[in-house]
Structure 1
Amino acid sequence: MEKPFLMSVEDVFCLQQGRMLMLTGRIERGRVCKGDEVEIVGPGGGATARVADIDASHVRIDEACADMHIGVLLRGTAAEVVARGHVLAAPGSISAHGCFTADITLLSEEQGGADVVSGDRLRVHTRSAAVWGTVTLHGVDVVRPLHGAEVTVALEEPMALEEAQPFAFRHHGRAAGSGTVLRLPR
């Protein structure tokens, strides 16, 4: 069975004096067809819209599938509702969360890894989104380079997340490690 449609929004363009939006990005999974209803998920809540058209390299197509870079044309959606870092998805298939539990691993010191303690702010990167979050460690006082731990991250803005989703993070302005989402609040 095919997984529901999901596309990471990389850029947003206003067309026809703001009456239409073109969202560009790569389809991560599933397929989308002209006329499908889609949900915009990310900071600031979500909205639904109907796909007016699909653009693939300046050619209008009726359907697009996983791994294609496309533009999705939406009619009647306000530009303030969507930005880079949001996702376009099948309605109800993914939601935005303000915190999550994850398993993280730090890079070596030479690669940018530095000690992480509870209360540190990390810049979490997943898909095309980047959001600041505060980390709380579970069962340890400090995570050292080349080590890992289970943590909870409280984000400053909600982002579209799923269990088992990979992410990277920066600490002190440098690439510091990566992780996997273990649990989301219910």
Structure 2
Amino acid sequence: MALEGHIETVLWTEADIAARVAELASQITDDFLGSSVPLVAVGVATGAFLFLADVVRRIKIPIEVDFIRAESYGSGTESSGAPRISCDIKIDVAGKHVILVEDIVDTGNTLSCLVAHLESKGASSVSVCTFLDKPARRKVELKLVGEGKFYRGFECPDYFVVGYGMDFAELYRNVPYVGVLKPEMYK
């Protein structure tokens, strides 16, 4: 069965995604233009890799790029508990503006852990740029560092979504749009 047969509904098309990414990159450029403080984008591996690449290519100011990996899901659809950082950044973020680039903010547990981690490394500010946001599932209030901002691509209904870097059991990251995975594919 082709990948399309695994998707119940398409929520955002390639064109929707490209338009929104361009808007986010423009907003980030405007917000940090003229700042004397260096800017670093930190992608949360692995889900944010496509979103990070698309956003940073459209940001019109100098920006460093790195990745961090936090694990909280395992191979299922439910979080396995407290997140842990399994691969840290290499760039020194002390005194820099950091934009944490995430594929999806769900409960907020992982994001809160990562923001606190970057703050402990001396970041001047920590902003969040998430492709999808599921505020209906939030369990942890997001506290940004310094004058951090929250950039959101789309507000996502409470569905299990895949595509554009997001996966189920490491599959579907290559789907170029965001769709709702048919329940029989993950149950």
Q: TM-score, with normalisation over the residues of structure 2? A: 0.23
Structure with more strand by fraction: 1
Which of the pair has the greater relative contact order for Cα pairs under 8 Å at 6+ separation?
2
Q: TM-score, with normalisation over the residues of structure 1? A: 0.23
Structure with more helix by fraction: 2
Structure with bigger gyration radius: 1
